[in-house]
Structures are given as C-alpha cells and as structure tokens.
Chain A
Amino acid sequence: MSLYQLQKLLYHVNRDSERRERYRKDAAGFIKAYELSDEEAKAVLNVDTRTLYTMGVHSLLLKPFTLLNKVSNEDYAKALKGLE
C-alpha cells in the first residue's frame, strides 16, 4: 500500500491544471510517475470510488477527483453505500 502516493496523485490532478491535462490525455502513462500497487493503479484508472475510499483516500481529495471524472453526486453516494 502507498496511500501517500495515491493521495498525491489525486491532489496533483485536482489542483494542478497542467498535470490534470496530462492525466486526461493519457491516464495510464500519467500514473506511472507515482509508486502505486497494482490494486491502487487499477482503482485510479477505473475511478473506483468505493475502493479508493476504503483504501483511505481523504474524502476531500476523492470527491473533487470523482467530480473531475464526471461521477455524479448520486453515483458517488451509491458507491459508498453501507460503508462507515
């Protein structure tokens, strides 16, 4: 697990327009700059809200990241349903 690297990736995409552009053009290439486990890489590339949340990604990094990836509020809530 490399939660720090995972959160750093989301932070960069959320807050830095140049990096966001690179992520949008080639997400698979972009994430290679971060030391992620295979599981983390998969969760990021699939914008897997529930898995990213249970991995411990801070909700105020995750929420804007999912919005940038066009996950609706309803789908976000649905993805977290049943979690604490």
Chain B
Amino acid sequence: MPIVFACAASHAPGITAWTEAAPREQAETFLGSYRRLGERLAASKPDAIVALTVEHWANFFLTSMPTFCIGRAAHYDGPVEEWLRIPKARVPGDVKLGVDLIDACLDGGFDPTFSDELLLDHATLLPLHFLNPNMAVPVVPVIINTLTVPMPSAKRCFALGALLGKFLQHSEKRIALVATGGLSHWPGEAKHGKINIPFDKKFLENILANDHRSLIAYTHDEINAEAGSGGHEIRTWITLSGAVQSWKAELLAYEPVAPWATGCGLVAFNP
C-alpha cells in the first residue's frame, strides 16, 4: 500500500505547555484543527508514521551532528521536556521500515546516519500527541538538521522527500507522512516573540500552490533573516512537499499566536 496520509504541522511547545496563555479563540481554532487532523490520520488507517522531524539538542551535539538521521529503533521515549504537559510515552518504532528507508536512501544518492536509540522532544511528541494520541501507530523518525549550521539546502530536502515518497508509494504498508516544525519563530533569541506573518503567508501560498520552484529556492540566509532560527524547520515541510508532489495541499489553520511566539500552521495534503 502507498502513502495514505500526509500533513505538515507546527510544534510550538506553548501549544501544550502554556495553552491558556493564548487568546482563547486562537487556541481553540488551532487545537480543534489539530485534533480533527488526528481523526483524519486515524481514518486513513496507517500501519506506520514516517515523521519528517527535527530536534533541539535532545540527541545530538556538535561532537557529531547528522544532516539527516533515520531511526531504526524498536521504540522511542519522550518527551524529554518535563514541562511540556504531555505524558511520558514509549512510542513503538518500525525497525524494518527504518532499515528499508535507510537502504532506499543509500541506493538513491543519500547517505543518512542511522540510530537505534533516539529520544523524542516536543518536535515529534507534540504532533504525535494530537495525531497519534494513543501512540499506537509505530513511528520512524527522519531527523533533519535545522538546528545549527551548516544545514541541508531546501533543494536537498525536497530531493530527499522525492526519494522517500517514491519509495513509500510502493511500500507494502500504509504510510502516514507527518512533517513538523515552523513557521516563523525566534526561540530564545533577542527577537523572541516576533512572528513574520507576511513570510508565513507567502510560504503557505507556495505550499498550497505546489510551487516547488519557489520552495526549493528558499536560501538559508533568507530563512534566517525572515523566519528566525526556528523558521529553518520549514525544511521538513519542503521535504514533505517533495514526497507528495502531485497532492493538493489544504490549509487547515494558520494562527500567529503571540504567547506561543510562533506562526502556527497546519496543512493536510490530499491525493
């Protein structure tokens, strides 16, 4: 069976950790959309979730920072953050699918690192909290370095997505693809709290229009200046866009939530 579900979602920790700090209407709109997206994921009856995700110093340090890392563990624990207000969970992995994705990459011109033990932080656990609430569907994390320079180019992320998408379309399993991160935010920086709404809207426009040329043209410096250090996470969205190139993206929510200090987006991709 092929890819049966695809979505991209923001993972600002405030969504769960300080939900009530947000204006009520914004929080209800965004969380309601997140939950409905979870219902759509469940209805697609996936055998596994491939999470196009990032991390924030949970597993890797500058001793060795992978550009792409694919998990092949039997399970993943998280969240690492005690304050996230998401219960500690052991999320099942899919060892075979992880191994198969690594092989597909090596056969297809990518050389990811791989890991038999990854901790999950809010980047992965927060979306899963809404999209896989019982943590019943096994997950394969594909971690993309959006944390520290040098990072993979948008073009390279799109190409990775294309490779993964092509492979997964012929998978014997029903696959849900979940991209997580963004949109603009400046976590812990001097500009913390800033949200660049015009940047976010233009990026969403490019996603919704399947404007792949514009998506791969985003440069590191442009993202850094316009969307902040957290904005680099849009690379996961671009990766997903590469994976489901002919699918039609549907905007479920965009809320620039000041107390969550993030332009929060939710997009479903439909075949």
Contacts and interface: CB of A to CB of B under 8 A. Distances in A.
Given A4-B62, A7-B62, A8-B62, A59 B57 contact: no
B189 A59 contact: yes
B229 interface: yes
A59 B62 contact: no
A62 interface: yes
A53 B190 contact: yes
A60 B62 contact: no
Nearest to B192: A77
A59 B186 CA distance: 9
Nearest to B59: A15
B56 interface: yes
Given A11-B57, A11-B61, A15-B57, A60 B190 contact: no
Contact residues on B (Cβ < 8 Å of other chain), bracket: 10 to 19
B190 A58 contact: no
Contacts of A58: 57, 147-148
B57 A61 contact: yes
Contact of B190 (A4, A15, A80): A80
B190 A83 contact: yes
Contacts of A11: 57, 61
Contacts of B62: 4, 7-8
Contact residues on A (Cβ < 8 Å of other chain), bracket: 20 to 34
A51 interface: no
A14 B187 CA distance: 16
A4 B148 CA distance: 13
Contacts of B150: none
B188 interface: yes
A81 B188 CA distance: 12
Interface in B53-109: 56-58, 61-62
Contacts of B57: 11, 14-15, 58, 60-61
Contacts of B190: 53, 80-84
Nearest to B63: A8
The 4 closest A-B pairs by CB, nearest first: A59-B188, A63-B188, A83-B190, A80-B190
11 contacts: A4-B62, A7-B61, A14-B57, A15-B58, A59-B186, A60-B57, A60-B187, A60-B188, A62-B188, A80-B192, A83-B190
Interface of B: 56-58, 61-62, 147-148, 186-193, 229
